Amino acid sequence: MGILAWLKRETKGIKEAQTKHWENKRKKLKETKCTCQSCGNVWYFGKTDQLENAGNAMQNLGKSMSCCTGCAPALLIKNKEVKDLKKCPKCNSKNVTCENIIHEIK
């Protein structure tokens, strides 16, 4: 067997193995399921909600620090809403249990 024939055979085997690997690989979606112990309400939030909340809090902090240093125009900037994700949106109770859930998406 020549080198070219051997190389073609090996390359074909590697490509087939890679294809099988990526076909079996499933995308995973992680989110947090919260259940209110007071009213029984169930809600979910994900990583994007947490990042958005953290970004809003940081922007509010930056605005506050600008006001402290005497920057008058910073007073005109509106505060971003920061939500407590582990607080029931219906009854505002903090008696909440949270669990991480992973969904597999094909």
Q: Is the pLDDT of residue 13 over 90?
A: no
User: In this predicted model, which residue has the larger pLDDT, 4 or 30?
Assistant: 30
Report pLDDT digits (tens) over 28-49.
889 999 999 999 999 999 999 9
Report pLDDT digits (tens) over 45-90.
999 999 999 998 998 888 777 776 777 776 777 788 888 888 999 9
Asked if 39 and 88 touch (Cβ cutoff 8 Å), the reply is yes
Structural domains of the chain, count? 1
- Is residue 10 one of the residues assigned to a domain? no
Residue 1: predicted pLDDT: 58
Tell whether pTM > 0.95: no
- Is residue 82 one of the residues assigned to a domain? yes
3-state secondary structure of 40: coil
- Is residue 52 one of the residues assigned to a domain? yes
- Is residue 72 one of the residues assigned to a domain? yes
DSSP string, 42-75: EEEEEHHHHHHHHHHHHHHHHHHHHHHTT-GGGG
